[in-house]
Structures are given as C-alpha cells and as structure tokens.
Amino acid sequence: MDTQAHELAPDAQAIFLLCGRLGDNDSDVKPLTRNQYNEVANWLHNNDMRPADLLESSGREQLSVFGEDGKITETRLHTLLDRGTALAMAVEEWTNKGGWILTRSDEDYPTRFRRRLKHLAPPVLYGIGDQSLLEFGGASMVGSRDSDDAALSFIRDLARRCADQGIAVVSGGARGVDQASMDAALESGGMVVGALANGLAKTARKKKYREAITEERLTLVSAYHPDSGFQVWKAMDRNKHIYALSDGAIVAHSAHGSGGTWSGATENLDHNWVPLSVLAEPPIPEGNQKLIEKGGRPIDRRLLREGVDLKEWLFTKASLTELRSSIGALTESGETKRDKQEAEDQKSPSKGTVFSIDDIREYLREHGSGDAELFPFVWPVLKLLLGETRRYQYVKEYFEDLRPSQAQDWLMMAAERGLAVREEGPVRYSLPQPQEGATNSDGKGSSEKVDEESPSDDSVRSNGEKEGSEVGIVNSSNSSRSLFDEANE
Amino acid sequence: MNIPMDRKSKALHYLRQALDENRATFRDGQWEAVRDLVANQETLLLVRRTGWGKSMVYFLATRLLRDKGAGPTILISPLLSLMRNQIEAASRIGVEAETINSSNRDEWDRIEREVRQGDVDILLISPERLSNEGFRNRVLDYVADRVGLFVVDEAHCISDWGHDFRPDYQRITRILQALPSNVPALATTATANDRVVEDVAEQIGPGVTVSRGPLARSSLRLQNVKMESPTDRMAWLAEHVPDIPGSGIIYALTVRDARRISEWLQLQGIDAPSYSGRRDSDEREALEEALLDNDVKALVATVALGMGFDKPDLGFVIHYQRPGSVVHYYQQVGRAGRDGNTAYGVLLHGAEDDDIIDYFIRTSFPAEAHVDEVLGALEEADRGLKVREIEKRVNLRRGDIRHVLKLLSVRGRSPVEKENKRWYRTPVPYSPNREKVEAIKQLRREEQREMQEYMEHDECLMRFLQRALDDPHAEDCRICASCVGEPLIPESVPEDLAIEAARFLQRSEVPIEPRKQWPWTDAFSTYGWENDGLTMEDHLQAEEGRALSIWGDAGWGQLVKKGKYHDGRFDDRLVEAAKQMIERRWGPDPFPRWVTCVPSNNNPHLVPEFAQRLAEALNLEFIPCVRKVAENRPQKEMENKEQQTRNLDGVFDIEERGVRDEPALLVDDTVDSRWTLTVVTALLKEAGAGPVYPFALAKTTPTST
C-alpha cells in the first residue's frame, strides 16, 4: 500500500485541523462545529478553493475576510490550522490502534452520509473495521434503553434473521436494543455497523467486537473522538448516522415526545431518509403508536416468518410497485399453507356480516391457529369495507372490540401486501385501482415516493437553520449542494 | 521562491550573535537549510558530521519563525539535554530551550507554565516520552497545538536497517509522515551510510529534501590490538592508558564489563569512572561534564555514552571489545580528534566478543512464541492486563514481555495498546514479519563479519572504515598503525600486572542482597507466611550473602560452569577460592557455625558434595537438613517473579532436629532471582536457625545463560 491510514490527504488534513478534536481540550479555541464548518466550506466553494488551500500561505491570507467578529474569526481559523503537529499525533494515535479517519472530502466517505445527510453529514468520521461495510446499507435497529423484554427478544430474532439473509444490522452500540441487535447479528455470523456516540476506542477492543472487526464483519464509526465520553447531545446527533447508514429502520420501543429514540425516529420521518418500521406488538408503547401515526409502518412477529424477504419489507415503502416481488416471495414460499387457508375460508363467517373479533378468535381456537394467523380471516371483511376510501378509525369502529393498533396493523398489512393502497394526510386506505403503476409514478396514488437521492430542498434548508442557530451565511440551494461533494466535483 | 535579502542578513546577524563571533559565516548549506524551513515550510533531512552546526540550523530557524509569531519548536531527541555550549549559543539569540523527560517530573509544572506563557522556544523531549500517555495529556497537548517547527534528532534511528534502530522512532516516522505541509520539519543525523540515508529519506516521505555533506576528516590514529584473554587486556589498559595524552573513552560491550574495568583501573590509580544507562541522568550528566572538563582520565562506558556527546579535543577512544559493526565502530572511535590534534583509536579484541555480539543479534527480536503467548494472554482479558498480570499468565521474563509489547506497540497498526498502565488487545490482526526479521539478522551478521575483517586488515585502517561507509574520497591516512608499519602504542603487557589483573578478576565476588518483600500477598500460600503487607518479617530474612563469581566469566565463572555441566563436580580450587573469599574478604559477623545447602532432584550430589568440602575447609559441621518434598520444574526455567515464586511454593521442607540455633552458611551453586535462597532461609529460620548467610558459586545473568 502506498499511503497508509495515518497519511491523510491534504484536503482531509485541513478539514481535520478545522473540525477535529486534537490535543489540548482546555484550549479557548474550539474546533469548528459542523455548521460552522459548513460556512467555511461554502466560502471555500464560492471562492473556488479547496480545503487543502488553507495549508498554503496564499490560501491562509484569504482568511482575513472572516475578520474578528462573530464566532468564526480569522484568529480562530489560524489557530486551528496551526495544530499540524497535534493532528499528526492524533491521527497516528488512532491509526496505531487500528482505526482510520475519513473526512467529507475523502472519496471513501460513506456515500449514504453524503447523499442523505448532505450538510448534516459529520465533517470528520473516526472508524475501525472494513470501510466497505459502510456502503453495504442494512437494517438499523433502535429503541430506548428501557425497552421491555418483548421488544428485546423481537429485535434479537429480527437481527438473527437479518444475519441469515445477508442484511447488515446498523445500530448505535448503546445499552438495550442497540447492543441486543448488534450482538445477536454478530453471534449469528452476520454483518454489523455500529455508529457510536462515544467510547469508540474502548468498544472496539471488547473481545466480542474486536474479533468481529478482525473478521471484517463489524465496522464501528463515530463522529466523535474515539476516547470521548457520553454526552446527550452526541447521542442525539448520532441518531441520524444510524438511520443514514441503513436502508430501513426498525424502532423496537420508543417513549413519546422525548428521548433519543423518539427524536431520532421523528427526525428520520421529517427528512425522509429511510423507511421507518415500528414494532406494533401489543401492548404497543405510546411512542410506537405515535410514530406509526406520523407515518411509521407497524410491524410485528409475522415479519419473522419463514420466507419473508426482509429486504423487501424493511427497505421499501408500502407502494404497490415495489412490493410486487415481495408478494411473490410470500406466495411462493407459503403456498401450501395459503391454499389450506383459502380452503378454510370457505368455512369462515360469511362475507358482509358484522361480527366480533371474539367470534373469530373462537373460530380459530377451534381450528387450532394462533393470533398471528388472524389476517387471512379478517381480510375478506376488510376488503368489503375498503370498497370506499376509509380511515382506520372507521375500521376499528366496525369491529366491536378492536384495539386501535389492531385495525391499523391489518390495514398496514393489507397495504404492505399490495392488497390496499395507503394515502397520507390524513392516513386512509382504499382498494388499489386497476392501473396502479401509473398512479404511483405521477405521485397521486402514493405520497411515499421513494426518492432518497434528492429530498426537497425545503426540508434540508429548514432543518439546517433549525439545527445551527449560529449559521450566518445563508445556504443558498446552489451552494449547499457543493458542500458534500468536495472530492467528487 | 524569492527570498528577501533582509531575512538572510537577519539570519547571519543571529548566527554571529549566537556564536559570539562577529565574523562568523554560514557553513556550506547552513543558510539554505534555514531558509527551506522558514520560508518554504519544507521537510528536510540534514546529514552532516558532528560539529558542523546542525543545531544552529534549528536555533536560527526557531528564532526566525518565532519572530514571525510561530509557536515553539519541538525537538525529539534521545539525548537528555542539549550540551551546555549549545544552550548558551541558543540563549544568546533569545532562544530558550527546556528539556522534559521522566527524570525531571518535578519540573514539569514549571516548564508547562513557561510553555504556556510563551517563554519556551525549544522543547526537547525523548522519543519514549512522545508516546507516553500521561506526558501527552499533561504537557505535550498544549505544545502540539502550536508547534512551529518539528525537529527529529539522530534521525538514523528511524531506519530499522540502521545500526542504532530504536523502536520509538517508528512512531516518530509516522508522525513525520502525517504532518500537514504547513508544519516545517527537520531530521538530522551525523552518521549514516548510503543505505541508511536512503532508508530514512524514503520513510520520511516523498516530500523530503536531503542535504548531505562529507564525513568528518580527523587526525585520528588507528590501531588494532588482539588479546584473547581479559587479564591481558585489563593489564594493557592499566599499563598504557596513563601514557596517552588527554582524556578519552574506554568502550565495553556490557555494563558489567564497564564496571569491572573501571574498578580495576581505579585500583591502579587511574581515574576512570564507569558510565552506563543504568546510572541516573544526573549522574550521567555529571560524568559527561567531568570528561568535557578533563577532570577524569577516561570514562569506561557502554554505548549509552555517545549520541550528542561532543568533545572536540577527546584524546583517545579505546574499545575493550569489538563493536557489532563498522558503523558502530566509526561512530564511536570518530569522537576522538575532532579538533584536528592527534588522537588515538585503539581496538582491543578478545575471545568473548563474538559471543556477546551473537547474543545481541539473537535477542534483538523476540521469539515468535513469546509474541504469541503475550497476545494470547491479552486476547482473553477484556479489561486489559498490567505487565505483572501478564507475568502470572506466561512464563516469560518481565524484560521479554516488555520487549514484545514495545515492538508490537510501535507498529503502524498495533495489535496491542496501552492505557493507564494496562495493555489491551486491539482489533488489529498480528502477523509476524519473518522475512524482514531474518533479513535484518542476516545484515547484522554481515556487519559482524565486516568488523572481523577490519580486525585482521593489514592495510590502511582509516581507508577501510571510510570505504565501508560509502565515502567516495577514501584514501590512505598515513598515520594508522598499518600505514606506519608498527604499533602506535606498544602491545606489550608487563607480567606482574597481568598476574595482578588475574587476581583481581578472581576476586570479583558479588553481594547477594537479601530480599525484603514478598512479591504478592498470595505467594507461598502453602507455607502460610504473613505477607499481607508484602514486607517480609525480619525474623524470616536472610543476611547479605556472596556469589563467588559471575557465571561463565573470566575469573572463577568458567570453572563453575565446567564443574556443573562437564565434570559433575566442582573443582577443589573453587573450595579454596570460596574459603579465602569468605574468611579474608567477606568475613560475615557473627561468623557461621554450621553449613547447609539447597537440595536438587536433578543433580542430588553436586551441591551437597561441594558444601561438605567447603564445610570441612572452613572447619564447620555440614548438616543437610533441607529436603525437597515436591517435584518442580528447574527454577532456572522460571522466567519471571510470578512463575519463580509459584514454582517454589511447598517444594522444600526442613528436618527440624538438624537445625541449630546458630549462624548458618546456606550453599547453592548458582543464584539468579534469589527466590530459592529466600524461601529456604525463611524455612530454616522458622525451624529455629540463627542468622542465615547465602552463598553461591556463581551469579547468573541473562547474557550468561
């Protein structure tokens, strides 16, 4: 190898000098925050400069335009750029332990960060393990620290299934759901990406993780110094890294309105980064319920059934076109069962009759099936109800004793299986039109069009302003685009 | 780049001020080096002879950079401090240098304060400090955030092909490589052949500029003197050193030899203290000063005296043994005669040279099995292990464990890391670099052969050395013993002096200091001694003892080795020598009234039989009351404290009715860790013995076994 991990490219050196936490932590001069760096990057771009130009005296002279007012002063920038020796020592120290450092200018910087997070992408990323795992995507799994046993057990099973199906698990390394998902996937021989908020160095040397890293099945990344301790803001900030590195997220357990899981999941919904699935096994926690109402898709143990192609379920949204293949997969592998069920359907309560769930349960008990098998029996009823566009409350009221989530669950199932179409604002369901493909492509049938490559400029910009109160220079949509492609353009 | 004239004249002004000489001018290449650093932020490798003025380059560069508002210079150097004259020169241009190292911890606070106040212009730190966690946090972080110039002294240590490779320089190399282009960097060295210069330049990276000048020409007169026996060489030194003008250095390969030669010369009225890395830094500095000021005739030194030591009027350099390579030899002998006045370089060499060099080559890299054992222990320890805890798990010497950890930890991607004195396994896979290790060992053997050729060389000696160092201008010196055609200094040794030297060597008994601490609270649990506080109770401790010789050494050591491994019986001369030593020189008081010995299962008669004869010679009763009640592995195979103590727990027992309440002499053949003698002494004393004096025929050391 020509260049080694400790030899950063000049652009990366400059970014690391400006943003990296290096030696002296008591220093008055703090490294630039992400938003502050975005400003500098904008300025560089507008002046046809690259970060590396700041290592040359001609480039340094340009910094005088920053003056001495405000947070990003000329003096501060010079002081940060003078930390060359500290940079060399810090990079050497971390790479000596097996790690690497990527900055937004590096070609190997994770594509998913660049594309999805854009100016929210961390300027500096520490990591250890095979970098290519970061391009692998996967299923992110999150949940609050006080997740109950059911949630933990679900997430472990799901992680194992992901491992079996070659889907990487992405999580945050925190206690509870995070660790449960990562450990279960690793134990099953799967691949895992951990996006940590703190303690990267210590985590990496734990036996279970160390060995997986050596086997190139685990990659840990963190936007924060490898020795940094836990801080709430980092944990909050880190959530977006988990979502962004995955192709679909699963919330196992969330509080409502507060906590890291809630804020991470709603942030993901707001930015439309990846499809969000929410565990909806009763009793459904309030947070989960609200996330579903905000657009999360309920899931339960049925996902773990044999033959379910998790990629199709987790990484796509409930649009008909995209679910074709998954329906196919389901049908194919569950064929005999399904045939049987359809035969049973003949004996089920007659169509069009109002009946209670208890009736169904009783019926099922007699026929020796569990709760999980309920949907096929309910569907004929739902199908009738969905002759018109309905909200789930209607369905709930139709059945005498149904939990709200149960109705929602079934409707979601119907949508996921392509049997019904889900529309938003307010959420409502109907039977699909015959030419559903056309409906989808012109955006009328479903507002959930998958377009990760270009979330609307509006959402990006508004969030940027919300996040960084200190942003002074306005991100025109033109210049904000440039921030994330320093290496590629 | 267009350099304004005023910068050069400013630099010249500073140069004259620093040298305190109004007409001083730059040496060839000196100003260019300063300019490249200050104006162009270059990375520079400066290969110049000692005395050329390499330090002046970074003094001037520091001054000019500081004038521009840059932060202090960091100087990585294995030296303890700058030479006094260098400090003075720097301070004349307002460049204040401070040293920070493990020996001046009490000054760190002050220095740190001064650094923060901007009062320190050059901070000198050792390569080892650079990777020390506590030091980094406390002192270095502040400086590292604003270093204006990064200097690496003795840069030849970077090359692992080089003669002077230091593991910590690998880390420094990577830091040099990782430096962004806005930090100027300077690497300097005085001694380097083509291969080493190329290797160093390549490792520093593609951006490096090499500035190289000719080797030193000196008025050094070389001579080789072959004397197999150490007694002859000791006698030669005593006879001829006083006649050589000026003061000088006598190099020995081992610390033990340096001490012994020094002791011998002092006995002969020659003021020649010993100097080695074992002495603390204050002592070493004082000794260097004494030599600089000609207050001593010579220092008897290991290679620890060397780098950075510059005494232009050094009168002679004598080697008691042959160094491992021509590069080593030239570097050491080249310290004499730098001022152009006649000086002597004499290579004495003897029979033991190759054994010692072989040992150094063999142990320069840890055995792969050692690495595997250490890594294996760490792999199972999620919370990391202190070195002592590793000792519990693997049967390796503490020194070997440290050596393994050091060499692993300086790798670019290291399989181990250290935090708060604990070592951890990292996720970096380990693969031994067998080819490279073998290639380096092979190179070392070639260097050894080249040095053997030099010894036998009958043409110009200086030319031989210069040719070996890739000097294109090598020519006959006309002043060495070969060129002159006769010895410069007589090779004769007066017989009476040789006999005296032989006696001296036979009197080189060494004390056996009693152990006063238990290693850990749970050691020797079978015996149930109270060792909670680790301090050994007084009534269990031994008295100070004696070992008659050093294993395998000139003097009696050879005879002990022969007795144990060849004859199966210790020679009567050893009985006589021991008797004389005990009675005439040692004279324990109160004198022992009975003799006992340490039993062995391997060789049940060797020691008791000797002890009996010694008892007879001393006119004392021999009572073999110590028994071995359990099989154990040979104690000499136990490589560290943990293994040594565990191997002895419950192994000995005392026949109490044999024990006398009177002073006893406890005899064993060899002593190393002293745990056997410690345990047997404690058992004897528990059984009612009086004071116990340990005696061994030889003390073993790592190099001797």
Interval B119-128: pLDDT, tens: 999 999 988 8
pLDDT-derived band at A361 (thresholds 50, 70, 90) equals: low
Checking if the pLDDT of A405 tops 80, the result is: no
pLDDT for residue A177 is more than 90: yes
Helix, strand, or coil here: B124? Answer: strand
Task: Note down the domain range covering A264.
Answer: 129-315
- Round to whole Å and give the CA distance between A245 and A268: 12
Q: Which of B142, B177, B414 lies nearest to residue A97, judging by beta carbons? A: B414
Task: Give the whole-angstrom CA distance, residue B27 versus residue A331.
Answer: 88
* Total H helices, total E strands in chain A: 23, 11
CA trace torsion B308, B309, B313, B319 (10° rounding): -120
B414, A55: Cβ pair inside 8 Å? Answer: no
Number of domains in chain A: 3
- Indicate left, alpha or beta for A457 from its phi (over 0: left) and psi (-120 to 50: alpha): alpha
Q: What is the pLDDT of residue A365?
A: 55
User: Which is higher by pLDDT, A413 or B264?
Assistant: B264
Answer yes or no: do A271 and A169 share one domain: yes
Q: Is residue B626 within 8 Å of B652, Cβ to Cβ?
A: yes
> What is the number of CB-based contacts under 8 A between chain A and chain B?
137
- pLDDT value of position A310: 87
Rounded to a whole number of angstroms, the distance from the CA of B212 to the nearest CA of chain A is 26
Beginning with the edge strand found earlier in the chain, give each strand of the sheet holding B43-47 in spatial order: B97-100, B122-125, B73-76, B149-152, B185-189, B43-47, B208-212
Residues of A in contact with B42 (CB under 8 A): none
Name residue B188's beta-bridge partners. Answer: B46
pLDDT category of residue A343 using cuts at 50, 70 and 90: very low
Is A465 within the bounds of a domain? no
The answer to whether the Cβ–Cβ distance between A13 and B424 falls below 8 Å is: no
Q: Which of A247-251, A406-410, B88-92, B416-420 has the lowest mean pLDDT?
A: A406-410
* Cis peptide leading into residue A283 (ω within 30°): yes
Q: Residue A48 falls within a domain, yes or no? A: yes
B636 or A372, higher pLDDT: B636
Cβ of B417 and A96 within 8 Å?
Answer: yes
Which helix (H) or strand (E) is B596 found in, with range? strand B594-597
Q: Specify whether A233 is located in the same domain as A358.
A: no
Q: Is residue A451 in some structural domain?
A: no
Q: Does A63 reach chain B within 8 Å, measured CB to CB?
A: no
CB contact under 8 A, B412 and A95: yes
| Percentages (nearest 5) of helix, strand, coil residues in chain A | 50, 10, 40
What's residue A462's pLDDT? Answer: 35
Contacts for B552 with CB less than 8 Å, ≥ 6 apart: B558, B560, B561, B698, B704
Q: Is the pLDDT of residue B12 over 90?
A: yes
Q: Is the pLDDT of residue B702 over 50?
A: yes
State mean pLDDT over B204-228: 85
- What is the CATH architecture assignment of B361-435? Orthogonal Bundle (1.10)
Confidence category of residue B635, pLDDT binned at 50, 70, 90:
confident
pLDDT digits (tens, 9 = 90+) for A420-469: 888 877 788 888 775 434 333 333 333 333 333 333 333 333 333 333 33
| Nearest chain A residue to B409, by CA | A96
Rounded to an integer, what distance in angstroms lies between the CA atom of residue A487 and that of residue A485?
A: 5
Partner-chain contact A210 B426, CB within 8 Å: yes
Mean pLDDT for B233-241 is 96
Task: Domain B508-699: give its CATH code.
Answer: 3.40.50.2020
| CB pair distance less than 8 Å for B426 and A85 | no
Average pLDDT over residues A70-97: 94
Q: Can you tell me the distance from the alpha carbon of A472 to that of A382, in angstroms, rounded to the nearest whole number? A: 54
Let me know how many helices (H) and strands (E) chain B has, helices first. 27, 23
Segment B368-372 mean pLDDT: 91
Contact (CB, 8 A) for B664 and B595: yes
Q: How many residues does chain A have?
A: 489
A 130-189 residues with CB below 8 A of B? none
The contact set of B with A (CB < 8 A) is: 41, 70-71, 74, 130, 136, 140-147, 150, 171, 174-183, 205, 379-380, 382, 409, 411-414, 417, 424-429
Residue A459 lies in a domain: no
A124-133, A464-473, B384-393, B666-675: least confidently modelled range: A464-473
Gap between the Cα atoms of B688 and B574, Å rounded: 30
Closest alpha carbon within chain A to B151: A85
Average pLDDT (B55-76) is 95
ipTM at complex level: 0.82
Cβ separation of B380 and A85 shorter than 8 Å?
no
Q: Are residues A307 and A324 in the same domain?
A: no
Contact A91 B180 (CB under 8 A): no
Q: Which residue on chain A is closest to B71 by alpha carbon? A: A82
Residue A484, in any domain of the structure: no
pLDDT category at B216 given cuts 50, 70, 90 is low
CATH 3.40.50.300 residue ranges for chain B: 5-212, 220-352+458-502
Q: Do B426 and A205 touch (CB under 8 A)?
A: yes
| A295 and A267 inside one domain | yes
**Residue at a domain's end among A425, A441, A457:** A441
State which of A82, A105, A122 marks the end of a domain: A122
Candidate from B176, B426, B429 with C-beta closest to A97: B426
Residue A335: inside a domain, yes or no? yes
In the numeric block, which tokens belong to residue B690? Answer: 């009086």
Chain B residue numbers touching A209 (CB-CB < 8 A): 427
Q: Where are the alpha helices (DSSP H) in B634-674?
A: 641-648
Q: Is the pLDDT of residue A489 over 70?
A: no
**The CATH homologous superfamily of the domain defined by B220-352+458-502:** P-loop containing nucleotide triphosphate hydrolases (3.40.50.300)
**Quick check: B145 and A82 CB within 8 A?**
yes
Rounded to the nearest angstrom, the minimum Cα separation between B117 and chain A is 14
Q: Does the model's pTM come out above 0.95?
A: no
Q: Tell me what percent of the residues of chain B surpass a pLDDT of 70.
A: 97
Which CATH number belongs to the domain containing residue A352 in this structure?
1.10.10
**What are the b/e assignments for B51-66, b being 16+ CB within 10 Å?**
ebbbbbbbbbbbbbbb
Note the pLDDT of residue B41: 92
Residue of B nearest to A18 (CA): B145
Do A233 and A113 belong to one domain? no
Tell me: domain B5-212, CATH 3.90.1200.10, correct? no
Instruction: Read off the pLDDT band of B602 (50, 70, 90).
Output: confident
Measure the CA–CA gap between B678 and B540, rounded to whole angstroms.
Answer: 9
Give chain A positions within 8 Å (CB) of B176: 88
Is it the case that residue A388 has pLDDT exceeding 60?
yes
Mutation target for A interface from B3, B116, B138, B174: give the one with most A CBs within 10 A. Answer: B174
CA B632 to chain CA centroid, nearest Å: 34
